[in-house]
Chains A and B, each alone.
Chain A
Amino acid sequence: MFLSRHLRLLPRASIARSLGSSGAHYTTAASSNAAPAEEDSPFEIPNRIERTPTDILQALAGTVGRDHTAPHYKFHDDPFLIPMSNAAKRTYAMSKESGRKAAKWIKEEHRELFLHQEAQPAVEKFAPSMVYTENSEVDESSLQQLIAQSEVKDAVLVYNLLEQKGSPISADLKQSLLELVCFHNNQEPLPEEYIEERWFIQNNRRRDRHGKTWKDGDLAEKLYAEIEPKTPQAYASLIRGMAKYLQCERAYALLQEAGEKQIQLDTNTFNSIIEIVSYLKDTAEQRWQLCTELLQEMSQQKLRPNLGTLNAVLQCISTFGNFKLARSSALQVLPEFKQLGVNPSLGTYYYLLIIFCRERGPVSHVIVDILNDIAGKEFQIEHPKDTYFFATAMDVCRNHLNDKSLAKKVDELLHTGKNYDLVGDSFKESVYYRNYLALLCQTESIEDFMLTYDLLVPNIYIPEPGIMEEILRAIEINNAVEHVPRIWSDMVVFDHTHRESLLLSVLRIMVDNKPNAELPAQQQLPEQCAKVALDMYERVEEAMKRLRKVSFTGQMLGNILTLLVRGGNFEKASEVFAHIDKNQHRIPGTPAESALHEYVEASVQEKSPSQALAALQYAVENNMESSALAKLIHEGFTLNETHLAKLKTLVGESFLDK
C-alpha cells in the first residue's frame, strides 16, 4: 500500500531510478522489450546481479521512513498502549522484554515440552539450550561449539570437566577459549536478543572511566600460564583483555615483556595499549611521549596502523589537559594517517570535537569543516565510539557555537541513509534532541520552532522539564500566548505538572499577555486560558492532598484568579478566591493587586457585592492598597445598609465622605 503510494508520488524518471537501484535486471528487461522497433542493436541480456535473500526486503524498507505521527514500532499501535512520557516509553519496552525473558525461562524450565521440531531446517534459538552439569559427557567438540556461541559460563564449565577427566585439549581450542574469557572478563555477557535492555541501559560513565574490573589471577591468567611456549596470540589476547578491563599496569608490563622476547604482536594489541596511555602516565607530555614511543615500536615491527590506531591516538590526545599541545598533536596526527590511507570514522570526528571544542578553550569551528567533509555520506559502524558523534556534535552546536544552521546540517546528516542507526542508545538520543530543541527554541522564530516541535514531540522525543522551561521562555519572549494551551496539554500528558517553576511560567505568560479580543485568532484564547488555569488549580489541589510535592503560592493563585475572571468563569473565580481567603495563613505570599482589582471589577459586573467586599477585606487585612478597591466598590454598586456598614469598618468613614 505504502509502496504504491510512494511510487505514484514520484516522477516517472525517478521511479525507474529507484527500481533500477533495487531490482535492476527486471526493469531493464521490461523497458528494452517495450521499444524494440527503435533500436537496431541486438538485444543484450544484462549480467545477472547477485542478490542476498534480504535484498528485496531492504529495497522495500528503503521506501519507508520513520513515521512521525506514530509511536516507534516496538510499541503497540493502540491509544491505550502508546507511551506518553519518557518513563512510560522505558517501562513499556522493558516490560515487553521482561515478558520475553519469562517465556524463555519457561522454555528452559520445561525443556521436555519444547523438544519438538517444526521448522525445516531446525532453528536452534527455538529449542531449549543444552544444559551442562558436573556429570555431562563432554568432549572437545562441545567446547568448540560453546565457544562459537560465546556461552562463557558453559564453556568454562565444560573446560573444567575436560580438565578433570584429563582429556587433552588442542592448543587452538585453548587459545580460542582464552580469547573468549579475555574478551568477556569471564562474565556472562548480556544476551544479544535483549535489544531494549541495551537501548535503555544507563551508560555508567564513572564505572566506564575509572576502576579496574579485570579479574586478577582468574581463569584467563591460568589459561595463559598453561600455554607453553607462549604464542603471540596468547600475549595479544591477554594484553587486550587486561587493557579492556583497565588492568593497565600489567597490560603494559606484558607488552614490554613481549617486546623483550622479540614476540611479534599485532596492530590491535598496540591500539588497546594506546587507548589506556592516559591511565599509565599523568601529565600530557608524558602521555604524548609514551604514545609516540608505542607508535615507533609499531613501525619498527612493520605493523600497519588502522582506524583503531587513529582513534586510540586521538583518545589519548583528548585526555590532555594542555589545550595547545592537544591541538597541535591532533593536527600532526591527522595528515599522517591520511597519508597512510586510513579513512576516519565518525568516532574519529567525535574525538576531534572533544579535543577542539572545550568548555574553557577558545571557540573552534572545526565542526564546520567536519560537516563540509562528511555531509550526505552514509556511515556504518566501524569503531565503538562512532555512536558518540551525533550527541556530541549537537552539544557543540548548542553550547559551543550556538549555531542553528550547523545544527540543521547535523540533523540532516543523521537522517541520511542508515545513519540513524549510529545515534547510540536512548540516553544519547535524548541528549541529542535535548540540545537540538533547546538550540532551536533559542534561535528560531516561535512559528518555525513549533513546526519542529510538532514533528518530534511526543513520538520521537519527549522534552524533559528543563527543556520545557526553555520552550516556555521562548514563548514568553515572543508573546506567543496562543501556543500555551497546546503546551499545557503536553505538559499534563508528560507529567510535568508538579514543577512549580513550570506552573509559574505558564501562568505568567498567560497573565502578562492579555489576549486581544479583536483579533479573530485570539477570540477563543481567554476561555482556553481560563480552562488551563482551572485545570492547573484542580491538579495542584489534587497533588497537594496526595503527594505534597507542590503547593500554591499567593501569586500563583492570584494569576489563576485573573485568568478565570478574564475567561468569564466568575463562579470558579469566586471559589478560588474563597480558597485564598480561607487559607491565607497557610499560603505564602499574596495575590498581585491587579488580580484583586480585576476580580472586584468582575464582581461589579456580576452584581455580587459580598464577593467584592470579601476581596476588599482580604486586601485590608493583608496591608495591600485598598482605597482603589473601595472606590471601585462604592461607585460600582448601590450598596445596602449592611454592606455599607462593612465598607465603613474596612476603610473608615472618611473615605465615603470624599
Chain B
Amino acid sequence: MSIRENFVVPKRYNTIAISLMVVGILAIVGLYVTSGSKESEHEQARFWASLLQNSVYFLLVVNASMFFICATTLAWGGWQMAFRRVTEAISAVVPVLGVICGAILLAVVFGGQHAIYHWSDAHHVEGDPTLLHKKGFLNPVFFSVVTVLTILLWSVLGWKMRQLSRSLDNNPLPTVEERKKYIWKNTVWAAVYIVVFSLTVMSSLPWLWLMSIDAHWYSTMYSWYTFASTFVAGVALIALFVVFLKNNGYLEYTNNEHLHDIGKFMFAFSVFWTYLWFSQFMLIWYANIPEETVYFKPRAEGAYSGIFWLMFLINFLAPLLLLMTRGAKRNYGTITFMALLIIFGHWLDFYQMVFPSPMTDEKGVTHVPMILYDFGVALGFVGLIMFSVGRALTKAPLLAKNHPFIKESLIHHT
C-alpha cells in the first residue's frame, strides 16, 4: 500500500468549517445590533471586547505552533518530524488571523473605545497621574507600531521557516555536509524567530494588548502567564489535527509514540500554566496592596469567580488527573477530549482577562455579559482556523521526507 502523501480536504470538513464561520458572522452581527451599535460607551465596549478577546486568543494559539517548530528545531529535536507539516499548516494561519487581529486592535485604539483602553483617551490621561506616568509606553503610536511590526515579523519569519522545510521536498540533500549546513540554517532562523517571540508574547506584548485594559494595574508575570496559556492551547490544537488526520488515514508514520509526547506537552504545560496562574495570584494575595488586589477583586471573588474557579478545574485538575497515566496519553479519545477541554479552558482564561474591566459600569459594579454571543464569535474563529489549516495542509506533502532528522522520528520510541 502506498502512503497517502497529500491531504485532500473532505467535503464535510469544509461544510462544517464554513457553517462555523457563518455562525461566527451571525454572532458578530447579533452582537453589533444588541451592543456595538448602541450609544453607550460600555455597550460598544462589550462588542469590541468580544472581538478583541477572540482574535488575540486564536492568533496566539496558532502562533504557538510556530513556537513549537522553532523550539524543537533549536533543541535539535527529531521526534516531531513525522507530523511537522501539521504544525507548519497551523502556523500558516498566522498572517490571516494577524490581519484580523491587528485590524481589530487598531480599531479599538483609534476608534475611541476608551472603555477598553483608558490610556487611548488623551484627555483622560492628562488628569490621571498613573497613566501620565506610563504615557511613554501606553500611547496609540507606540501601540500600533509594535502591533504591526510584531504581526509582520511573525508572519515573515514563519513563512521563512516553512519555506526552508518545503525547499527539501523535491531535492534531497545527498551529503552529510549539506545536511549539516541545512540544519544550521534552520537553527539560525529558528533562533531569530525565538528572539522575536520572546521579546513579544513572552515578555511585553500581552502587557500592551491585554494588560493595558486594566491600565492602572500591572503584573510582571502577566506575559509569561499569557504565553503558558496559549502554548498549552496551541499544543492541544496540534493534537487535534494530528488525531483528525490519523483518523482519516493520513500520517502513517505518526503513531502512539508521537501522540504520547504531544500528550506530555499538554500535561506539562497545563501544570506550568497553573504554576504561573497561582504565583501571580499568591504574591498579590499575600501582599494585599489595594492597587494590586483590584485586579482579583472582580475575578476571584466578584462576578467572574465562577469562571475563575472553573478554570482551575478544567485547566489544572482535569489535565493533571486525566492525562497522568501512560494509557491516557496514547488514547485518541482521551487526547481529543482533553485537547478540546484545554482549548476551551484557556479561552475562558482570556475571557476573564479581557471582560471584567470594560464590563464595569459607572457605579463600579462588574457584571458578566451574555456569554453565548462570545461562544458564537469563538466558533467563527474556529471555523476560520479549520478552513485555513485544511487549505494549508493540501499545499505540501504531509511528510517532510527529506529532512535529515526524519529517520529519528520514524523510529521514535518513548
A and B: real partners?
no
Q: Which residues of B contact A (CB under 8 A)?
A: none
